[in-house]
Structure 1
């Protein structure tokens, strides 16, 4: 069983909508540059979005181990396995299919 600290570290509940949207985009597109992520979000958000907000959100996702950053000729961001698991758990919760830990049904 996971400790409350581990659950908090790998939960999306306290992330911003922008951060959750970035995780979703990365899960659908694979490794992406910040410019591509920005354009995808700018197309989705009707009130616009600041590029620095994207960079700050990505940095926090890196610190939480949901995303990795790789720099070669360009800088790409990629979803990590903990990021995939957290996103999957959130999708299950949204669909109403998650079960309380340790609860037998």
Structure 2
């Protein structure tokens, strides 16, 4: 996960957290978080990067809609990142 940008990490977390992660749902979640528009030219290439790195899988729901799921490796990376963060930030 160390080689991901912050945006790519956020994408991975959103995919992991959504019940039905498809492009527009992911885009909507990130736009709420960032409070600005996320352009397709930023979203989809970064999703493709996560696919290439083996952190998410991409499937086709229909000819216009892709869906995304976090891989086992992606979940391990999220868990490792959370453990690393807890070494530095303890909010209790």
Per the shorter chain, which TM-score range? 0.7 to 0.9
Question: Is residue 2:48 matched to residue 1:36?
Answer: no
TM-score, normalization: structure 2? 0.85
* Runs ≥4 residues deviating over 2 A: 46-49
Choose from 77, 82, 86 the match for 1:86. Answer: 77
In structure 1, distance between residues paired with 2:53 and 2:71: 10
Work out the CA distance in 1 between the residues paired with 2:61 and 2:17.
22
The RMSD of aligned alpha carbons is 1.5
Gapped regions of structure 1 (runs ≥ 5): 1-11, 98-105
Q: CA–CA distance in 2 between the matches of 1:36 and 1:47?
A: 15
Does residue 3 of structure 2 align to residue 20 of structure 1? Answer: no
Structure 2 Cα separation of the partners of residues 64 and 46 of structure 1: 27
Over alpha carbons, which structure has the higher Rg?
1
Asked whether 1:76 is paired with 2:76, we answer no
Number of residue pairs the alignment of both structures matches: 86
Aligned partner of residue 91 in structure 1, secondary structure: helix
Unaligned runs of 5+ in 2: none
Deviation at 1:68, TM superposition (A): 0.5
- Counterpart of 1:3 in structure 2 is none
